[in-house]
Amino acid sequence: MSSLWTNDAPDAWRAELARYQEVVEGQGVKPLPELDRWYRDELPGLIAARKRPHVTHAELVKITEWKMARGVWRARNLALVRGNDPAEVEKTSAAALARVPHPSEPIAILAKLAGVGPATASGVASAAAPDVYPFFDELVAAQVPGMGQVTFTPREYARYADALRGRAKALGGGWTPVDVERALWAHAGGKKKVRAA
């Protein structure tokens, strides 16, 4: 696989971002396309419409299902997420999102919820503030020079997000860290290595 990261041509990045939905569908994970559309198209508006931005318990469960459908399914983590008190999810997520744009505090606050690690926490943060927080994905991190083996900690997330914010800024033209993350994920072909013909 050629390196997209070192390619400075915005057209190459746009081409990979345009493939994102195709790669999602190519994963062969039945609920993933529907979950991904909800995550990209509905959830950000739901969060933004609230007087105090937060996610509900049902939304956190759905974010976790999306994350696992796109990556590795961990039934125990999903059970832990489902076991969180709904009022605590709203309170904790509101406290976390109130800390935007701090590079790691929203992630650390959300990770206090049962079953929520930095990757799931980043799923909440990136839906709420895509211009600041990309989703924390191992396939993407593997393409970032200097990241090495990913450890899923708030500190490691801050390094990862900073790199993706820097790449978005370098690309210009309205690129967000979330756009960069999705382009890199599509470039990797997702977990099923779906490549363009």
**Considering the domain boundaries, does residue 3 fall inside one?**
no
CA nearest neighbour of 191 among 74, 67, 96, 86: 67
Domain span including residue 92: 10-188
**Considering the domain boundaries, does residue 195 fall inside one?**
no
**Considering the domain boundaries, does residue 159 fall inside one?**
yes
**Considering the domain boundaries, does residue 2 fall inside one?**
no
Domain count along the chain: 1
**Considering the domain boundaries, does residue 97 fall inside one?**
yes
Chain segment 75-86, per-residue pLDDT in tens? 999 999 999 999
Residue at 70: amino acid letter: R
C-alpha distances in angstroms, 76 versus 68, 105, 153? 11, 25, 19
> What number is the average pLDDT over the span 57-83?
95
| pLDDT at 178 > cutoff 50 | yes
pLDDT band at 72 (very low <50, low <70, confident <90, very high): confident
CA nearest neighbour of 127 among 192, 193, 74, 181: 181
| pLDDT at 195 > cutoff 60 | no
**Considering the domain boundaries, does residue 197 fall inside one?**
no
Total-model pTM: 0.94
Please state, rounded to an integer, the average pLDDT across all residues of the chain. 94
Q: What angle do CA 45, 122, 190 make, to 5 degrees?
A: 95
CA nearest neighbour of 115 among 64, 65, 81, 73: 81
Per-residue model confidence (pLDDT) at position 149: 82
